[in-house]
């Protein structure tokens, strides 16, 4: 999710096969829509979760260009696919993501005299 532009994208792969991919934003519309919508998406596509967006005071009163708000769908995607949310009210079964410890790694060039970071070239 990218909150500055209300953009959402996610994909679900299983055994090396793409099952579902969605990318949507109000400026570009539906960028990618591959596979059948997942259960948590269905209320959004059915019009049950309309976007409740108030325009800025100095803008024209145009309706939101999508039938739902991508960031709201994004929160439901996070919950359904990862077990937590970033914003909004957590549910009792949600994972408390702030309590999960992650390890960080720094890759250095073992042969460099000053231990400078290793360079990686992707092709």
For residue 20, the tally of other CB atoms under 10 A from its CB is: 18
C-beta atoms surrounding 48 within 10 Å: 10
Q: Sketch the domain layout of the chain as residue ranges.
A: 8-87
Q: Count CB neighbours of 69 within 10 A.
A: 19
pLDDT at 17 (0 to 100):
97
pLDDT at 123: 45
SS (H, E, C) 1-42: CECCCCEEEEEEEECCEEEEEEEEECCCEEEEEECCCCCCCH
Per-residue pLDDT of the chain (123 residues; tens, 9 = 90+): 999 999 999 999 999 999 999 999 999 999 999 999 999 999 999 999 998 766 566 666 677 889 899 999 999 999 999 999 888 788 999 998 888 888 888 777 777 766 566 565 544
Residue 83 in contact with residue 76, Cβ under 8 Å? no
């Amino acid at each position: 999710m990218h909150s500055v532009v209300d953009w959402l994208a996610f994909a679900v792969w299983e055994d090396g096969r793409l099952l579902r991919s969605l990318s949507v934003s109000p400026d570009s519309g539906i960028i990618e829509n591959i596979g059948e919508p997942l259960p948590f998406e269905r209320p959004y596509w059915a019009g049950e979760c309309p976007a409740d967006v108030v325009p800025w005071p100095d803008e024209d009163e145009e309706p939101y260009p999508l039938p739902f708000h991508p960031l709201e769908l994004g929160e439901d995607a996070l919950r359904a696919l990862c077990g937590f949310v970033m914003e909004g009210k957590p549910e009792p079964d949600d994972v408390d993501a702030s309590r999960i410890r992650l390890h960080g790694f720094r890759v250095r060039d073992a042969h460099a005299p000053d231990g400078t970071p290793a360079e990686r070239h992707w092709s």
